[in-house]
């Protein structure tokens, strides 16, 4: 059972376009993380959002955590070829004294020059 649904699964756009990636769940999370993974490498953490309704900005990337802490979105403004990669959201839940991120299947983004 996939706890986190990401959409769209694939995205192919031109440089300069804007895009939004969605991450939805029926579960409530302690926090939600976004990672980016490039081919042949492991995921790299972009941001962690903790509070319902929280909005964080990282240059051209805007991350929002839903009020109920069940969903999140990632918006990229004026995409660049360097933004190409697999974007993964991860909902963090408490388990056995630890916090375990559960990942969505990812959104594969290609930005064409």
Rule CB under 8 A: is residue 96 a binding residue for other proteins?
A: yes
C-alpha to C-alpha distance for 21 and 27, rounded to whole angstroms: 18
- Which of the ranges 17-25, 59-67, 77-85, 95-103 carries the binding residues for other proteins, by CB under 8 A? 95-103
Q: Structure tokens of 103?
A: 């990942």
C-alpha to C-alpha distance for 110 and 113, rounded to whole angstroms: 10
Least Cα distance to 110 among 24, 4, 19, 45 occurs for: 19
Rule CB under 8 A: is residue 40 a binding residue for other proteins?
A: yes
Rule CB under 8 A: is residue 35 a binding residue for other proteins?
A: yes
List contacts with other proteins (CB under 8 A).
2, 30-31, 33, 35, 40-45, 48, 50, 88, 90, 92, 94-106
């Amino acid at each position: 059972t996939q706890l986190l649904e990401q959409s769209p699964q694939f995205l192919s756009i031109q440089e300069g376009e804007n895009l939004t990636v969605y991450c939805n769940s029926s579960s409530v999370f302690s926090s939600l993380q976004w990672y980016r993974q490039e081919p042949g490498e492991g995921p790299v953490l972009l941001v962690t959002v903790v509070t319902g309704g929280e909005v964080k900005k990282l240059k051209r990337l805007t991350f929002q955590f839903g009020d109920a802490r069940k969903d999140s979105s990632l918006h990229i403004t004026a995409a660049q070829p360097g933004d190409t990669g697999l974007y993964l959201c991860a909902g963090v839940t408490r388990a056995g004294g630890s916090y375990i991120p559960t990942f969505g299947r990812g959104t594969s983004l290609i930005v064409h020059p």
